[in-house]
Amino acid sequence: MLKRLLIILSILALGLLLYSVFVEDIFSPPLSPKDTAEISLNDLTLKVEYNRPSKRDREIFGALVPFDKVWRTGANEATTFETNQDLLIDGIVLKKGKYTIWTVPMKDSWKVMFNSKQYDWGVNEKMEPMWDPNYDALEFQVPSEELDVTVERFTIAFDNKTGHLKLTMAWDNTLIEVPIDVKEAKSQT
């Protein structure tokens, strides 16, 4: 009985090893690892969770990520943005809460959408974005900048070095900046 159990366990272990090597390859690092960008300023806390695809000698914008089409803004799961306070973005109020970020890269600018719906994944089985525009809480356009350096891995970060908070997104040789202001609460008189 013990001998049979050991044989079964050995076969299962071998099967899992073969599966992991040939199907899932769990021993190599993920191609688009998860990452988080966070910032805390006074009472404000912002957090972005996203997956970071790599350039890997590919042409990115206008090719891998087509111009004028909705992009999940990263890889794998939909990118999420969370704020504990109401914000002003492009002069429009974004209520505190959790959103997904979707973008439309264009040649000289990007459209950015904060969507109130939470999605399990960024694309469907046909590789089409799962974004539903009916849930857009905010949509605006920002200029894109060409960088002198190549950003190998898609990067989202917060920049407050000048005292003007920005959410930045960079990949390949492209950068966008989303200006963020805290919405002042109305004082009661």
Tell me, what's the pLDDT at 39? 96
pLDDT per residue over 21-35, tens digit each? 666 565 666 777 898
Structure letter (DSSP) for residue 134: G
Q: What are phi and psi of 125, to 5 degrees?
A: -65, -20
* Digitized pLDDT (tens) for each residue of the chain, 189 residues in all: 788 888 888 898 887 777 766 665 656 667 778 989 999 999 999 999 999 999 999 999 999 999 999 999 999 899 999 999 999 998 899 999 999 999 999 999 999 999 999 988 877 777 888 889 999 999 999 999 999 999 999 999 999 988 899 999 999 999 999 999 987 765 444
Count of helices and strands (H, E) across the chain? 1, 9
Tell me, what's the pLDDT at 189? 47
C-alpha dist (Å) from residue 74 to 92, 122, 162, 171: 24, 8, 27, 10
Element holding 6 (H helix, E strand) = helix 2-19
Yes or no: say if 48 and 79 are a contact pair by the CB < 8 Å rule: yes
Strand arrangement of the beta sheet that strand 97-105 belongs to? 34-41, 44-51, 80-83, 97-105, 109-115, 136-159, 166-182, 87-89, 92-94
Residue of 79, 115, 77 lying closest to 94 (CA atoms): 115
Tell me, what's the pLDDT at 185? 60
